[in-house]
Amino acid sequence: MLIVDSLSVAYTPARLALNHVSFELAAGKVLALVGPNGAGKTTLIRALSGVLPVLAGKVWVAGKDFLALKPGERARLVAVVPQARSLPPAFTAWETVLLGRTPYLNWLGQTSPKDEERARQAMQRTRTLELADRRVGELSGGEQQRLLLARALAQEAPLLLLDEPTTHLDLHYQINLLDQVRTLARQNGLTVVVALHDLNLAAHYAEQVALLVKGELKALGAPRDVLEPALLSQVYQLPLKRIPGASSDAALIVPAAL
Amino acid sequence: MKRLRIVWSILLLAAVLLSACAPAAAPVAAISLKDGLGREVKLDKPAQKIVSLSPSNTEILFALGAGAQVIGRDDLSDTPAEAKKLPSVGGNMGKYNFEEIAKLKPDLVLATGINTPEQVKALENLNVTTFYLENPKDLDGLFKNLETVGALTGRTAEAKKLNESLAKRVKSVQDTLAKAASKPKVFYELDATNPAKPWTAGPGSFIDKMITLAGGQNAAGGLKSEWAEISQEELIIQNPDVILLGDAAYGVSPEQVASRPGWSAIKAVKEKRVLAFDDNLVSRPGPRLVDGYEALAKAIHPELFK
Amino acid sequence: MRWIAAHPALVNILLLVLALLASVAVGSVLIPPLAIFDVLRLRLGGASLPPNLEPYAAILFSLRLPRTILAALTGAALAGSGAGYQGLFRNPLADPYLLGVASGAGLGAVVVMSLRLPYGWFSLLAVPLAAFLSAAATVFVVYLLARSGRTLPTTNLILAGVAVSSFAGALTSFLMLYSTGELRRALVWLLGGAASSGWEPVLGMLPYVSLGLGILLTRGHALNVLQFGDEQAQQLGIPVEMVRGVVIAAVSLATAAAVAFSGVIGFVGLIVPHLVRLVWGSDYRRLLPISCLLGASFLLFADILARIALAPQELPVGIVTALAGAPFFLWLLRRTRAQQAW
């Protein structure tokens, strides 16, 4: 359960990167963040994960004032799947996933059998267990991205943030990963916020869509209401149209020229 | 008969005197001297197994006739030739081999200005009696050092004799220099790897004092420290009458100096008074400093020493 | 080779024991093993030594044993610190002197030397003490300069380290030239450290090196997480700025003590962690302690070589560490380049 209350972030004093953004998301639901480049999707993910200094506003995760917590406590509430790029190649997949247990370790960083069990479960669920002894540097982009998802799951946090996780993945892995994310939300009651470029993937996998434009929340609601051709054409400055999808309630947003 | 009695009484007197002296002479006069670091150094008897830690100390010891009492020397000690046959205890780059010193079991280590207080402490830790011979600030300081080493080695008489002869030679040079009509300007080159700013001896340094004493004036007398680089521009303004190449041992020659760009403007180069000079004679604070003094005087005032 | 890779702790402890024994046994003066045994037996039994053993006893107790311990402590401090900094800065070129410890120590030592204190325990103690304090102060200045708001960017740290190092180095050179007389002492110190003997340096160094390395060794896990970048580390629950401060403080403490008593010895802090990484992997919980052990052995063997290579002359140990270490390191690097240790 996530409540974002009038959150503002500024990289420079002159311009707000996020301007009083507010929304709520229930447990077990997936929210897709969409919007053009520079709209503030990644900024919002980073602010929600606590790595950006926040100008004003509050974030409540599972009933706790998230931004007032220490890093260790934050990491037990919020897990992040970053974009897979330049991971340290020398770690094995197993070591990488085990790092997800960091917020639960003692001051020497020793892992217990319980931590190892949780890491193993996370790898099982993301189908990465067979990669366990491989070095991260040898893995494909898709494998690395699944590994980062496994690491985030090992963190056992109620809120999961994903920053454009499909960017470097082929179609197969895009669908595969988002299927997993939706299953996790539904089965484990995780609250999920995922930044996505692909409007159609957002429409398909999210219960709610938030459209960000220049740091402001332009629209929030069910995919059908937010992903509306007239509004999107204006936001992306490109004529867009809706075409029917495979099923009766599905529709695709494509450039009008196609 | 009367003569016999006199002989008898003399013998008797001698016996009495000897017996009176004997108890006092038994421990032999203990030596106690303050060294250059202000440490009180005590020896039961004159040192017989000495390790010298610097070329100057080695030269002093041999000049006093105490060469046979030296059992070890530092790497750089090359004079006299006999010294080179002694085992070396290191000293290159300031690193001594203390294990080697401990093994030699010296009754005296003679340290000097090139040694650091840390090294003296290391020797104290080894329970080795160490005397730190301060670098002399002038020729009087040298005489005093010779006296000190004489006392440490039981060569007091030799030290006195050596000092007298050295003082006589100094006096003779000074008498000759009294007739000098001028004070030529002297540039003493220590290192000119970069001829645009060669290293030289500044005011207060031993070489500076020696140049003054030898009837010259130091062209680098206006610098701010004892060892410094002088700019070539300043050198041209100073326009020295004589250039002495203390770096001649490293292959620098007067011809080379003349070919350095811009140096032909200097009077000494024009008048071909650029001379190779044995740096050891002025940089090693031993008895050969007097040789150095003579050589300096001759180089600066050749007209008086024909 | 496989056995070696599987037993990092055992291999390195055995190696260290071997290095310690060799360092006591080997020197420019050959002490027969039996004499070592006799000296130890008589000394520990409280008996007086026969005169033929006396120089051996002096060599063993005043020179070799303290020198051995000092070299081991120094090697451990430098290699452990190097590993810590390489992890902290995520930079394979980081060494323990990165933030100005060496030049800071040099400046402190030369300042005290230029005061020309009268000979005595105070002036002998003042030099390493000033070197230590000045080294620590230099890193602190770098730390203050590098801070920007509440963050401590590594790029700022490295740049401030370079700038402050150069400044301190220039100041040192200036002092050496213009506070005449102690020039040679300063040169000797900068080339090879205090070069004293006896147990004082060991006792002076021990508390700081133990404390610094002790703290550093607990930060292995945090350094592991930091390899994924500041942001991910923070998201995984690591207080990044605090870890950075703690590691810098720990490394500075250990390195400053090492420099104050042993002088600046290059290369150990740079290559030993890489050797460990190549053979035993990059898990910092293992990398840090194994680097300490191997660093101690490495410097001991280098010191032995420095003693015997040109005996009775001694080489500055830094020359040996570079001459012997670099080719070996390059050979190992070529052999294992495919492993992507970084």
Cα–Cα dist A208/A206, whole Å: 5
Q: CB neighbours of A185 closer than 8 A, spacing ≥ 6?
A: A28, A29, A30, A160, A191, A192
Please name the residue ranges forming H helices in C147-195.
154-178, 183-192
| Cβ-based contacts of B223 with chain C (< 8 Å) | none
* ipTM of the prediction greater than 0.90, yes or no: yes
The answer, yes or no, to whether residue B21 has pLDDT greater than 50, is no
Residues of chain C numbered 104-143 and touching chain B (CB < 8 Å): 118-119, 123-124, 127
- Concatenate the DSSP letters of all residues of A156-183 into one string: T-SEEEEESTTTT--HHHHHHHHHHHHH
In which band, very low, low, confident or very high, does the pLDDT at B18 lie, cut at 50, 70 and 90?
Answer: very low
| Cβ-based contacts of C339 with chain A (< 8 Å) | 90
Residue labelled with tokens 């010779």: B146
Q: Are the C-beta atoms of C135 and C259 separated by less than 8 Å?
A: yes
Average pLDDT over residues C23-40: 84
The answer, yes or no, to whether residue C216 has pLDDT greater than 90, is yes
Min distance C143 CA to chain A CA atoms (Å): 21
| Cβ-based contacts of A110 with chain C (< 8 Å) | 221
Q: Are the C-beta atoms of A110 and C283 separated by less than 8 Å?
A: no
By Cβ distance, the residue of A51, A86, A91 closest to C235 is A51
Give percent of chain C with pLDDT exceeding 90. Answer: 45
Closest CA to C264 of C56, C107, C97: C97
Average pLDDT over residues A36-51: 92
In which band, very low, low, confident or very high, does the pLDDT at C242 lie, cut at 50, 70 and 90?
Answer: very high
Chains B and C touch (3+ CB pairs under 8 A): yes
Closest residue of chain A to C214, computed from CA coordinates: A108
Q: Are residues A75 and C221, on separate chains, in Cβ contact within 8 Å? A: no
pLDDT at C223: 96
By Cβ distance, the residue of C224, C237, C341 closest to A72 is C237
Tens of pLDDT, residues B123-161: 988 889 999 999 998 999 999 999 999 999 999 999 999
Average pLDDT over residues C29-38: 83
Tens of pLDDT, residues B171-209: 999 999 999 999 999 999 999 888 889 999 999 889 999
| Cβ-based contacts of A102 with chain C (< 8 Å) | 221, 225, 236-238
Tens of pLDDT, residues C169-209: 999 988 887 775 667 788 877 776 555 678 888 988 999 99
Closest residue of chain A to C91, computed from CA coordinates: A88
Tens of pLDDT, residues A15-25: 889 999 999 99
pLDDT at B29: 55
- Ranking B114-123, B230-239, C171-180 by mean pLDDT, the lowest is C171-180
pLDDT at C47: 77
| Cβ-based contacts of A50 with chain C (< 8 Å) | 234-235
Q: Is C219 on the interface with B (CB under 8 A)?
A: no
Q: Are the C-beta atoms of A153 and A126 separated by less than 8 Å?
A: yes
pLDDT at C193: 59
Q: Is C185 on the interface with B (CB under 8 A)?
A: yes
Tens of pLDDT, residues C65-99: 999 999 999 999 999 999 999 999 888 888 899 89
Residue B291: Cβ within 10 Å count: 16
B17 burial level (CB within 10 Å; 0-12, 13-18, 19+): exposed
Half-sphere exposure of A257 (CA within 13 A, CB side): 3
Chains C and A touch (3+ CB pairs under 8 A): yes
pLDDT at C196: 61
| Cβ-based contacts of C55 with chain B (< 8 Å) | 102-103, 105
pLDDT at C59: 85
In which band, very low, low, confident or very high, does the pLDDT at B23 lie, cut at 50, 70 and 90?
Answer: very low
Joined together, the tokens standing for residue B182 give 């001028």
Q: Are the C-beta atoms of B246 and B213 separated by less than 8 Å?
A: no
Min distance C137 CA to chain B CA atoms (Å): 24
Highest mean pLDDT among A222-226, C1-5, C82-86, C322-326: C82-86
Closest residue of chain C to B76, computed from CA coordinates: C313
| Cβ-based contacts of B97 with chain C (< 8 Å) | 28, 307, 311-314
In which band, very low, low, confident or very high, does the pLDDT at A224 lie, cut at 50, 70 and 90?
Answer: confident
Give percent of chain B with pLDDT exceeding 70. Answer: 91
Q: Are residues C196 and B105, on separate chains, in Cβ contact within 8 Å? A: no
DSSP for residue B298: H
